[in-house]
Structure 1
Amino acid sequence: MSNPLPNQLSQWQNLQNLAQQDWSLTALFAQDVNRAHNFSVSAQGIYFDYSKQCLDKRVKSELLALAKACQLQQKIKALYRGDKVNSSEKRAALHTALRLPATSQLVVDGEDVVSAVQASLAKAADLVARIRQGIWRGYSGKAITDVVNIGVGGSDLGPVMASTALDEWADSDINVHFVSNMDGTQLGSLLERLNPETTLFIVSSKSFGTVDTLSNAQTARAWLLTTGASLPSLLRRHFIGVSANPERALAWGIDEAHLLQLWDWVGGRFSMWSSIGLAVAIRIGMARFYDMLAGAHAMDEHFVNTDFETNLPVLLGLIGVWNSTFLGINAHTVLPYDGRLKYLPSYLTQLEMESNGKSVTHTGEPVTYSTCPILWGEIGSNAQHAFYQLLHQGTQKVSCDFIACVHYYDTSDAGEFKHQHALSLANCLAQSRVLAFGNDAVVASPDQPVSRLDKFKRYRGNQPSTTLLLDELTPTSFGALIALYEHKVFVMASIWDINPFDQWGVEMGKQVANEVFAHIHCQQPNHQQDDGSDAKFDGSTQALLDHINQQLDT
């Protein structure tokens, strides 16, 4: 007999009933003077305050009971064991193995996964050292000064985020750039500023068949060929490949000595811990890259070994389920009050929505409940002047994650920057306070009570939020933060009984794009003018194609 759908469980029904009550954050804090203490926990240098969420001890208890009924603990163990938790592709999801210590052992399908990972990292470390020490030379004998990572999705968003967040740890003069857009504008403007003699390209593609990545790689190869150097020399001296499909990478022209291993059991959005993070390692050094892995592994250990009541990823995930599925809050925003984390919202957009944007269970049953909310975000100070208006006075309920670092600019010569950091922290705390309590966040003067304010000056409050405070941003704490969100995704998927490790929703778009591409005239040197009589597409797409082709033909 198959397991019941999660919404058939008694714990689910209990939560549905609890969600019907009139939740007031102001009332919750008034009822429990120790609420901030009772609904906060610390681990791995992260202080996690969820007291401004619309829940109480009863809700927390039922959420934990639901996690138990959904066999979350067993699912976590299956994930770490290397079971085929990616049910639609019949694969393991072993991103946690990418950061296991070298002394660990994990055998999956007869393969020592840790040995394979460590061999790939060792090869990456050798390439990193050669590049950073000026040993790696371009076709003319000059040392590499610029590295361009060509990827898309997980092969771009993770490395971009990490290299930006940890750039203060960079101890190399080598410039690292990232290219992902397939239209060529991003790469074209970059190539105008680069010297082909000293530029190295990393082609990062799990399949080595992604059109976005390969189109940019081919343009880079053509750019290098304009130098007059031989193609074999250019391929050997100016390209590194990272792929789970070595046959395709080698056929494209990547030198085997410069090809780094990826595996089918690593989803792109979970892959920056592997050689996909090569550009990050070039920028900050391999030692600090290993520190990032160690921080993620420490969060892995916390996730698998800590009681659920104080388990950061479990609590973060259960809160997400409570908001999206039970309270009907279908929008979530991530608000880092730290410029170094400016790409974190973009990364989490992919991590969460590509993972949990699903509408069928593991067995293909359609779900009848809300799963992943729409997620977006921005640096807090920018967001305050952009979409906070909607958060404070709009008609939408939105849950928020505020993220900040306590320590920054601690040196004696930091001067005014310490003042700016304190101002940023104050804004972070103030915004979550106003979102929670509305006009009650400000002590009203006796001669102007809230009831007398113009209606357009009233803040409704009761917008739920979580605040995560890092002691400081280091490679280690950064690794822990990202692993925390990875595990949050798994917790939510486990409760919803969906597969967070596939992404079939992106595949059909690629297929249709190839069909449309074949009908754009600039790809057909000897094309005949279409008269529309053999149109293959819907009326809108065909009309748009006709307009494009008419413009191209003139």
Structure 2
Amino acid sequence: MTWETLRAHATRLRQQHLSELFAQDAQRFEQLHRHVGPLLFDFSKQRLDGEALQLLARLADERDLGGWIERLFAGEEVNGTERRAAMHWALRAPADGSIPEPREGLYAEVEEQLQKMRELINKLHSGQWRGVTGEVVTDVVNIGVGGSDLGPLMVCRALEECDVTTALNVHFVSSMDGSQLAYLLRELRPHTTLFVISSKSFTTVDTLYNANTARSWLREALGREQSVVDCHFLGISADVQRMTDWGIHEDHQLRLWDWVGGRFSVWSAIGFPVALSIGMPAFRDFLAGGHFMDTHFRTAPWLENVPVLMALTGVWNTNMLGINAHAILPYDARLKYLPSYLEQLEMESNGKSVTRDGEPVEGSTSPVIWGEVGPNAQHAFYQLLHQGTQVVTCDFIVSAMRYHEATPVTTTLEGQHELALANCLAQSRLLAFGEAALPQGEQMPFYKRYKGNQPSSTLMLDELTPFALGVLLAAYEHKVFTQAVMWQINPFDQWGVELGKKIALETLSLIHQQPDANDLSAQLLADRNRSLRDSMDASTTGLIDFIQQQRRGF
């Protein structure tokens, strides 16, 4: 019933421009912003009003959001298709009882891994971790993909000004084609390089291919003894046995659990590169920020709850206004990788078309998430945002303060930060109000006109600290969960990515060079490949033929 009432209200409200909504209510910002800890969330430039918010809150009650939040934090099986809990929040929960322990010993297990991380990091920071030749490790390469890459890469870059050591260089490798790794191996010395293999299952083909290449590189340079692997590899996985079978020493293994989804795993040992870069005290501040938002999400009423309001405005835009694109626009180059991180978090979680009960969903689910650092984006796609035919909602993300030390350089840099702030505020204003943002009476030719009425939110941090970043990321996580409840889907599985990877492994055998016709086992493989090829479409087989033709020319 509320869903249809919301649609009817949206039809009426759609006729009003944002400039009219602000003209009608001088207190609109006061009513439509929330300030929680280090985060200010301004949603006054969204195309909704108080009545829409009340209806959205009623929808949250009808969809039993409160019950789902209780089940999430009670460690119940909220991931139905994989029969798992989703307890990423437990990775950042202090053992003080503020969130009851879902099962005895859970927090102790998490703390044990944090302590082991601290020991390994201290060993690296102090120069005690040495390669097989006795030289001190100077470079650490994280090998992962998806959440095992995007999370730590994004947070490391976001918090690079907190870096506690210049003695260690942290690198990231994720591409399955080997390009990133090949470039790095030309620059690094095997004697002083440590590889971190991050894979929840320790079966991810992309990651293992890169890891095997790194192992071959080390053995070619340093010898094939097991000690090379012992000294130059660290593993992070939920599968201890697979790490051991690959050759990683048990002292150099960090553990995950099956209740940690990859895109929610930066709070776990997957965050090892982050803790290595900023130090364990700052990493614990990052966890504390996430926990702060967990507590707010669990306890605040819907219309005071920042993640819930983020989610409900998104449902309003997607399902009531029919807007299916959402841009992430950080006005801070340190947040360069945040759009990519949120693309995975939102689209892999909520890019679903079937409800938890196996029925088709009502309307749309996740919009297309995309974005770029704001100043770069202004010179790339803001033309479309301001004068194109597509409606796109936007999240502007910026910190109010930066550069505190009073030196000639920081004074100049503070001026640059103010320039970024000014651009952020100006762009959100122009998107909302269009030509109404101009001085009264100023006229523009048709090709310079701005229609405005593009909805946006602004998420402003007091400053970009580990704690504040933890607050921000946890807010987005809980936004995703809330929207999944509204859409009645499971945000914790990702079956859509699995079949393509399976087909890729089958296709790989066809791309390999043809087997020796005199080898019986090779003949059997050739027969299997012919059968597989016969089951494929003409486009795929034509492309495989072209690949093989090109390879035969070398």
TMscore range, shorter length: over 0.9
Alignment of 1:177-188 (within 5 A): 177-188=171-182
In the other structure, the counterpart of 1:287 is: 281
3-state DSSP of counterpart to 1:131: helix
In the other structure, the counterpart of 1:393 is: 387
3-state DSSP of counterpart to 1:227: helix
In the other structure, the counterpart of 2:4 is: 13
Alignment of 1:85-104 (within 5 A): 85-104=78-97
* Cα drift, residue 306 of structure 1: 1.1
In the other structure, the counterpart of 1:251 is: 245
What letter is aligned with 1:25? L
Percent identical pairs in the alignment equals 53
1:34 to 7, 23, 27: 27
In the other structure, the counterpart of 1:487 is: 478
* Cα drift, residue 102 of structure 1: 3.3
1:41 and 1:49 in contact (8 A); partners too: yes
In the alignment, the residues of structure 2 paired with residue 396 and residue 286 of structure 1 have an alpha-carbon distance, to the nearest angstrom, of: 45
Alignment of 1:431 onto 2:436? no
In the alignment, the residues of structure 2 paired with residue 19 and residue 245 of structure 1 have an alpha-carbon distance, to the nearest angstrom, of: 49
What letter is aligned with 1:462? N
Alignment of 1:350 onto 2:349? no
CA displacement, residues 369-423 of structure 1 (integer Å, 9 cap, x when unaligned): 1100000010000000000000001111100000100000122111211111111
3-state DSSP of counterpart to 1:468: strand
1:503 to 494, 506, 518: 494
In the other structure, the counterpart of 1:3 is: none
In the alignment, the residues of structure 1 paired with residue 546 and residue 104 of structure 2 have an alpha-carbon distance, to the nearest angstrom, of: 54
How many residues matched? 539
3-state DSSP of counterpart to 1:47: strand
CA displacement, residues 139-196 of structure 1 (integer Å, 9 cap, x when unaligned): 0111110000000000000000000001100011200000000100100001111011
In the alignment, the residues of structure 1 paired with residue 249 and residue 406 of structure 2 have an alpha-carbon distance, to the nearest angstrom, of: 49
CA displacement, residues 315-350 of structure 1 (integer Å, 9 cap, x when unaligned): 001111111111100000000000111110000000
In the other structure, the counterpart of 2:543 is: 544
Alignment of 1:163 onto 2:156? yes
In the alignment, the residues of structure 2 paired with residue 335 and residue 249 of structure 1 have an alpha-carbon distance, to the nearest angstrom, of: 39
Alignment of 1:387-536 (within 5 A): 387-413=381-407, 414-444=410-440, 446=441, 448-449=442-443, 453-522=444-513, 524=515, 535-536=534-535
CA displacement, residues 111-135 of structure 1 (integer Å, 9 cap, x when unaligned): 5211111111111111111111111
2:190 and 2:222 in contact (8 A); partners too: no
* Cα drift, residue 456 of structure 1: 1.2
1:337 and 1:379 in contact (8 A); partners too: yes
Query: Aligned in 2, Cα 1:62/1:133: closer, same or farther, shift over 3 Å?
Result: same
What letter is aligned with 1:180? S
In the other structure, the counterpart of 1:360 is: 354
1:106 and 1:112 in contact (8 A); partners too: no
Alignment of 1:98-247 (within 5 A): 98-104=91-97, 107-108=101-102, 111-172=104-165, 173-247=167-241
Query: Aligned in 2, Cα 1:386/1:176: closer, same or farther, shift over 3 Å?
Result: same
3-state DSSP of counterpart to 2:510: coil
TM-score scaled by structure 1? 0.95
1:139 and 1:229 in contact (8 A); partners too: no
3-state DSSP of counterpart to 2:197: strand
Query: Aligned in 2, Cα 1:216/1:111: closer, same or farther, shift over 3 Å?
Result: farther
1:206 and 1:245 in contact (8 A); partners too: yes
Greater than 3 Å deviation, 4+ residue runs: 102-108, 522-534
1:106 and 1:114 in contact (8 A); partners too: no
* Cα drift, residue 532 of structure 1: 7.6
3-state DSSP of counterpart to 1:375: strand
3-state DSSP of counterpart to 1:88: helix
Question: Unaligned stretches of 5+ in structure 1?
Answer: 1-9
In the alignment, the residues of structure 2 paired with residue 428 and residue 225 of structure 1 have an alpha-carbon distance, to the nearest angstrom, of: 50
In the alignment, the residues of structure 2 paired with residue 46 and residue 523 of structure 1 have an alpha-carbon distance, to the nearest angstrom, of: 59
In the alignment, the residues of structure 2 paired with residue 520 and residue 408 of structure 1 have an alpha-carbon distance, to the nearest angstrom, of: 52
Query: Aligned in 2, Cα 1:297/1:441: closer, same or farther, shift over 3 Å?
Result: same
In the other structure, the counterpart of 2:71 is: 78
2:222 and 2:228 in contact (8 A); partners too: no
What letter is aligned with 2:215? R
Query: Aligned in 2, Cα 1:249/1:457: closer, same or farther, shift over 3 Å?
Result: same
In the alignment, the residues of structure 2 paired with residue 524 and residue 244 of structure 1 have an alpha-carbon distance, to the nearest angstrom, of: 37
2:331 and 2:421 in contact (8 A); partners too: yes
In the alignment, the residues of structure 1 paired with residue 136 and residue 293 of structure 2 have an alpha-carbon distance, to the nearest angstrom, of: 38
3-state DSSP of counterpart to 2:464: coil
CA displacement, residues 339-369 of structure 1 (integer Å, 9 cap, x when unaligned): 1111100000000000000000111111131
In the alignment, the residues of structure 2 paired with residue 66 and residue 153 of structure 1 have an alpha-carbon distance, to the nearest angstrom, of: 33
3-state DSSP of counterpart to 2:172: strand
1:339 to 333, 336, 356: 333
In the alignment, the residues of structure 2 paired with residue 501 and residue 100 of structure 1 have an alpha-carbon distance, to the nearest angstrom, of: 20
TM-score scaled by structure 2? 0.95
3-state DSSP of counterpart to 1:469: strand
In the alignment, the residues of structure 1 paired with residue 516 and residue 239 of structure 2 have an alpha-carbon distance, to the nearest angstrom, of: 32
Query: Aligned in 2, Cα 1:236/1:52: closer, same or farther, shift over 3 Å?
Result: same
* Cα drift, residue 525 of structure 1: 6.4
